[in-house]
């Protein structure tokens, strides 16, 4: 599925993830560890390893149940990523994690904490990405400057939908009555919601209203909150323009769309093509939520060197680095 870019199709091309070291991610926790407690926070650097697989390996080494190991977010396998895991060790201490011997994993440090590490407990992620075989990049500076000013379309990246978009096939099976395992059900629901959101965001870009708040549209000041705006005035439009407020799109579910008026009508027209997903998500009793249509990258820096285009930036949790890359460089579809 080709999604419209804010800056239009890029002239530049290159290769993403030619090697794991070309895609580096560093998690930033949203809290300071307590320094004491029953949970050991383990900071790791993993290369070419799946997050869930690493969690299982840590559980086996510590001799605990898989459910006693948790993490704040899944990270790409084909990358070098630094992330945190928590291991519940009530009444235990003195584990020498340096001897865990997990392939592709280096233990960077540990610290105690009173609570289990929960999904989404991140302030954001810091990225360093290298695009190899980089060509035709004369407009990279102008594109980067626009993304810093106007933000990046906050699409869900292709990772959300699985290889060949098979997670959406799972969603169809689920909503047609198939019984799925718990983890498959979660993947299917997430993919269905993401597909509807992406379609609404794409339609807003095509309509030229990516940064134009619609009457009745909930607006977000960031941090996951939003407020209803029945009729945007000059002050609201100004605050959207400078990045203080963000238009939002639907995370479909039960209980009714928080959007009203023109915004609700626009979203309903787009969502009509996903009738099975909309009814299925409502039936699954997922809460209807909102997600900002854009994300503004922080500390965005770029450099063209012998090894290609190097990008460095910081994104809040839930944002996909591949969506920023897509605004700058055309990469092979398989990536």
* Catalytic residue chosen out of the listed positions 76, 99, 139, 254: 76
Q: Taking a C-beta distance cutoff of 8 angstroms, is the pair 191, 161 a contact?
A: yes
Tokens of 113: 């904490």
Return d(Cα 241, Cα 39) in angstroms, integer.
43
Catalytic-residue membership of 233: no
Contact 96, 281 (CB under 8 A): no
C-alpha to C-alpha distance for 33 and 115, rounded to whole angstroms: 9
Beta strands per DSSP E along 209-264: 217-222, 225-229, 246-251
DSSP 8-state symbol, 315? E
Question: Rounded to whole angstroms, how far apart are CA atoms 188 and 170?
Answer: 5
Non-local CB neighbours of 60 within 8 Å, separated by 6+ positions: none
Query: Which residue's structure tokens are 């009738």?
Result: 275
- The β-bridge relationship of strands 80-88 and 23-29 is parallel
Question: What percent helix, strand, coil does the chain show, rounded to 5?
Answer: 35, 30, 35
DSSP H helices, the chain, are: 51-62, 140-150, 166-175, 182-207, 234-241, 261-271, 275-283, 321-328
Which residues are catalytically annotated? 76
């Amino acid at each position: 599925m080709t999604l419209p870019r804010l800056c239009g199709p890029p002239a530049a091309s290159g290769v993403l993830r030619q090697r794991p070291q070309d895609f580096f991610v560093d998690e930033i926790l949203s809290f300071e560890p307590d320094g004491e407690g029953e949970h050991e926070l383990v900071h790791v650097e993993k290369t070419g390893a799946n997050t869930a697989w690493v969690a299982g390996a840590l559980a086996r080494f510590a001799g605990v149940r898989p459910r006693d190991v948790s993490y704040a977010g899944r990270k790409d396998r084909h990358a070098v990523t630094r992330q945190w895991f928590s291991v519940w060790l009530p009444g235990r201490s003195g584990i020498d994690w340096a001897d865990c011997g997990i392939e592709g994993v280096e233990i960077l440090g540990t610290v105690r904490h009173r609570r289990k590490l929960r999904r989404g407990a991140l302030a954001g992620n810091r990225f360093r990405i290298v695009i190899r075989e980089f060509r035709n990049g004369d407009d990279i500076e102008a594109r980067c400057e626009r993304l810093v000013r106007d933000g990046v379309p906050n699409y869900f990246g292709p990772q959300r939908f699985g290889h060949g978009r098979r997670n959406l096939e799972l969603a169809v099976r689920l909503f047609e009555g198939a019984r799925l395992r718990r983890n498959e059900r979660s993947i299917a629901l997430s993919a269905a919601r993401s597909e509807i959101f992406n379609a609404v965001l794409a339609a807003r870009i095509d309509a030229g209203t990516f940064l134009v708040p619609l009457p009745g549209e909930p607006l977000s000041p960031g941090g996951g909150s939003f407020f209803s705006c029945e009729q945007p005035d000059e002050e609201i439009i100004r605050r959207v323009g400078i990045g203080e407020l963000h238009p939002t799109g639907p995370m479909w579910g039960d209980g009714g769309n928080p959007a009203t008026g023109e915004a609700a009508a626009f979203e309903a027209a787009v969502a009509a093509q996903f009738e099975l997903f909309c009814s299925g998500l409502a039936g699954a009793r997922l809460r209807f939520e909102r997600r900002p249509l854009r994300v503004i990258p922080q500390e965005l820096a770029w450099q063209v060197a012998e090894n290609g285009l190097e990008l460095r930036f910081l994104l809040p949790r839930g944002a996909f680095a591949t969506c920023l890359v897509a605004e700058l460089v055309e990469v092979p579809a398989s990536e």
